[in-house]
Amino acid sequence: MSWHLPPQPLRRRTLIPFAFGTLAALQLATVLSPRLGASAAYPVKAMLVFGVAAVIAAGQLASTHPFDRLGPANLVTTLRLLLLSLVAALIGEGPTSTVAWGGALLAVVITTLDGVDGWLARRTRFASKFGARYDMETDALLILVLAVLAWQFDKAGIWIVLAGAMRYLFVASGYLWPWMNAALPDSQRRKTVCVVQIVGLIVVVSPVATAPGSVAAAAITLLTLTWSFGVDVRWLHQHRQEH
């Protein structure tokens, strides 16, 4: 994944929402910290998660975003990333019911907003490869964070982290087998499985799910995701000569 500085007009108009988001992550986490019973490091973790993700996202603008500003859809995705940083910062915090509820409820809001950015991109004609990738990677990071929290809260074994790591293992495998880098056709199955993953992991993380039910639910989500990735890998392997 290459990193390039975006053109100056876009860079200026991107700096404001990303800088504001970094400060907002710190401020919101500071407000939430005593309510969640989180540690003093919680606000700093949230700020760092958003800041690092924003820098990575900004590096993709130059080559994949043909507009001179982010656009409303990407601003919604940035809001989702801001809320996600608050969830990610819960990793390492005490596995209390308050922390679990906080993470689950924030994840529900993030997931609800997921349908808004795509609709806005089409409505405002600001659709781009960057926006699609930005949205997808935000979903992938949410799945990874929820999987780690499920393990942290003893809702499932460490194997559930594989659900979050699978997307990154898939990308990494492209360095070993170039045919894995080919574009996949659009698939409703892939979108549905992503939603199932997120919703299933939210339920697993929330205090309403307890073992052995949480273990079974986590296993089902992991098996579903493994099957979906398996279908994609099989398709790529069958069409490897074409790419």
Helix (H) or strand (E) run with residue 109 in it:
helix 97-124
pLDDT value of position 243: 60
- Which pair of tokens denotes residue 64? 């994949």
Domains of the chain: 8-242 (1.20.120)
Q: 183-192 long-range CB contacts below 8 Å, 24 or more apart?
A: 184/232, 184/235, 184/236, 185/235, 187/232, 189/228, 189/231, 190/228, 190/232
pLDDT value of position 120: 76
pLDDT value of position 12: 63
pLDDT value of position 1: 47
In the DSSP assignment, the letter for residue 92 is T
Helix (H) or strand (E) run with residue 193 in it:
helix 188-205
pLDDT value of position 73: 84
List the chain pLDDT tens, one digit each, 243 residues. 445 555 555 666 677 888 899 999 999 999 999 999 999 999 999 999 999 999 888 777 766 666 667 778 888 999 999 999 999 999 999 989 999 999 999 999 999 998 887 777 677 777 778 888 888 999 999 999 999 999 999 999 999 999 999 999 999 998 999 999 888 888 899 989 999 999 999 999 999 999 899 999 999 999 999 999 999 999 999 988 876
pLDDT value of position 64: 67
Q: What is the pTM of this model?
A: 0.90
CA gap 173, 164 in Å, rounded: 15
